[in-house]
């Protein structure tokens, strides 16, 4: 599903990523861990073509990201759901409208919007807040809306950049259960996180990055590598 071939990203002489080789299969659930400044955000930005790789090739599904023309970037991003630590909801739209917006941009029919949006809202358990605005919701509720929006168009990959970073442990676990549920439907999930406890308990594949290099890749890993 996701493939990095000898990918490097240089900022001047500083290598944010150097010579990364990596392959993530369809339906996998992967944690991306590492200290701050290791290159995790760079990895995501490259995948979304927010920045260009200095070297190497990146593939996402059928698309070769590294030679995708700029005007095709929207197509790439519709194939990838994204969830951020700070939720990034549209402040002037209601919960319902925020989720529907992702369908508006692919010119979905009003009819299918009316059918699919309530389903997504109920999947993330927030149907009763459909007409509220983001600022009227708790952090956990806002993250649920963001997740509903990210999966509404059935992306093959869901990328979550520290999705639990702003949440208390209980809420964080609720969000994790939601992600697992989405993963079970076949969506590949890549989650960047610092939450040691979550990574340890989930026992999923863990890819560790440090100073732009992959230092470990364990199929049923823990946050810290204990020798």
Partner 1 sequence: MFRASAYSVKQACKQLIRNRNMCTASIFSITSMLLILGLFFILIVNINLLAQTAQSQFDTIQIYLEDDVGEEAIYEMQNEMETIYGVKEVTYIDKEEALVIMKKRWGDNGYLLDGLESNPFPNSLEIKVNKLEDADAVVSRIKGMDGIEDIKYYQSVVEKLLNITNFIQLAGMVLIVILIIISIVIVANTVKLTVAAREKEIGIMKYIGATNWFIRGPFFVEGIIIGIIGSGVSVAIIYFFYKKIIEAFSTQAFVMFSIGLVPHEFLINHLIWIFISLGVGIGSLGSILSMRKFLDT
Ligand X SMILES: Nc1ncnc2c1ncn2[C@@H]1O[C@H](COP(=O)(O)OP(=O)(O)O)[C@@H](O)[C@H]1O
Sign of the four-CA dihedral 167, 164, 162, 137 = negative
Least separation in angstroms between residue 38's CB and ligand X is 4
Using CA atoms, how far apart are residues 88 and 209, in angstroms rounded to an integer? 26
Region 88-127 residues binding partner 1, contact defined as CB under 8 A: 88-92, 101-102, 104-107, 109-110
Q: Is 146 helix (H, G, I), strand (E, B) or coil?
A: helix
Site string for partner 1, 61-80 (x = CB under 8 A): ----------x--xxxxx--
Site string for partner 1, 129-168 (x = CB under 8 A): --------------------x-------------------
Least separation in angstroms between residue 93's CB and ligand X is 28
Where are any strands of DSSP class E within 61-139?
Answer: 63-64, 80-84
Least separation in angstroms between residue 91's CB and partner 1 is 7
Instruction: Return the closest-CA partner of residue 47 out of 218, 30, 36, 13.
Output: 30
Determine phi and psi for 124, rounding to 5 degrees: -90, 0
Burial class (CB in 10 A: 0-12, 13-18, 19+), 13: exposed
Least separation in angstroms between residue 157's CB and ligand X is 18
Q: Which is nearer to partner 1, 45 or 213 (CB)?
A: 45
Binding site for partner 1 (CB under 8 A): 48, 71, 74-78, 82, 88-92, 101-102, 104-107, 109-110, 149
């Amino acid at each position: 599903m996701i493939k990095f071939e000898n990918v490097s990203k240089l900022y001047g002489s500083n290598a944010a990523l150097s010579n990364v080789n990596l392959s993530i299969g369809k339906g996998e659930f992967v944690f991306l861990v590492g200290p701050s400044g290791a290159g995790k955000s760079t990895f995501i930005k490259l995948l979304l073509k927010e920045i260009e790789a200095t070297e190497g090739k990146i593939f996402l599904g059928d698309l070769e990201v590294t030679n995708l023309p700029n005007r095709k970037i929207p197509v790439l991003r519709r194939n990838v759901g994204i969830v951020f630590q700070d939720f990034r909801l549209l402040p002037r739209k209601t919960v319902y409208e925020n989720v529907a917006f992702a369908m508006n941009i692919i010119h979905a029919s009003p009819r299918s919007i009316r059918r699919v949006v309530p389903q997504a809202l109920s999947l993330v358990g927030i149907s009763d807040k459909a007409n509220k605005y983001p600022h009227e919701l708790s952090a956990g509720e806002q993250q649920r809306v963001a997740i509903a929006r990210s999966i509404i168009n059935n992306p093959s990959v869901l990328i979550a950049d520290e999705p639990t970073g702003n949440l208390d442990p209980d809420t964080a676990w609720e969000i994790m259960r939601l992600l697992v549920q989405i993963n079970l439907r076949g969506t590949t999930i890549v989650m960047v996180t610092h939450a040691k406890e979550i990574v340890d308990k989930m026992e999923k594949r863990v890819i560790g990055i440090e100073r732009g290099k992959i230092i470990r890749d364990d199929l049923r890993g823990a946050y810290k590598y204990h020798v």
